[in-house]
Amino acid sequence: MLRFNKWTIALIAGMIAYSGGAGYLTASFLETGRSVRAMGMGNSFVAVAGDVDCLYYNPAGLADLKGMQLLFTYAQLAQQIEGVGIGDGSAVIGTPLKNTKGVLGGSWSNLSLAGFYYEDTYSVGYAQYINKNTCVGVAGKMLRLGYQGEDVDNNSFFQTNGKTKQGFAIDAGVLAVLNPQLTVGASIKNIISPNMALGQVEDKPPQVIRAGLTYDLGPKTPVLVSAEFNTDQTQNEMNGGAEVSL
């Protein structure tokens, strides 16, 4: 069984970058994925519509919700490492608004290293069709992170720079139905991105640009095929997947 102290665990988890000489501590709200359905489709989800998890990938997709949806997810990560409790959970809700063309969504997500570090994201999104075939969406987010525990309380860095940080970010997206089978979509995550570092350095959540399509093979072949390109300015990815309705 592997054993690590708390600071080493944090580094292994990829959550923290620390430089004692420079005097800073960063955590960047990295992309971890929020939807089991999206991960099952290879994380090619930007052109999917009518799913409450569109709030995370492309808020425009909320516009196709036909009724209220509520979803909870939770995963315990790094279970093979003794003494580590890395939790990744979320709750998301979406509902059409009465007497309007719009759909409202809200979510909370949390990534935490038990007893030491946490990230919380609170999102509120809105989407609607602007014409028969095109919808747009936007989401505002409050990001909050914090460090806790005896090691943190007694550390001079945290005594100087504080233990928590919060900021605000914005996502936006668009979807267009080109024909009954083909839909294209694009989104930008963190158009406005706050500095979430503690200390004398800049650390902003990455701006992620997505563009992709879905193709419905039709009622006789209930398969939805998807493809997506995304980039965060440091690396590019091309993802694809398919979903079979039973």
Alpha carbon of 177 to those of 32, 47, 198, 205: distances in Å?
28, 9, 44, 31
User: Looking at residue 219, what is its pLDDT?
Assistant: 81
User: Looking at residue 30, what is its pLDDT?
Assistant: 60
User: Looking at residue 27, what is its pLDDT?
Assistant: 54
User: Looking at residue 16, what is its pLDDT?
Assistant: 43
**Residue 5 CA neighbour count, 13 Å, CB half:** 3
Give the residues of the chain that fall short of pLDDT 50. Answer: 1-22
User: Looking at residue 218, what is its pLDDT?
Assistant: 83
User: Looking at residue 21, what is its pLDDT?
Assistant: 44
Distant-in-sequence contacts of 4-7, Cβ < 8 A, 24+ apart: 4/81, 4/83, 4/84, 6/113, 6/115, 6/116, 6/149, 6/151, 7/151
User: Looking at residue 83, what is its pLDDT?
Assistant: 61
What is the model's pTM?
A: 0.84
Give phi and psi for 179, each to the nearest 5. -160, 175
Dump pLDDT digits (tens) for 15-39: 444 444 445 555 556 666 677 888 8
Distance CA(82)–CA(5), nearest Å, equals: 10
User: Looking at residue 39, what is its pLDDT?
Assistant: 85
User: Looking at residue 101, what is its pLDDT?
Assistant: 87
User: Looking at residue 15, what is its pLDDT?
Assistant: 42
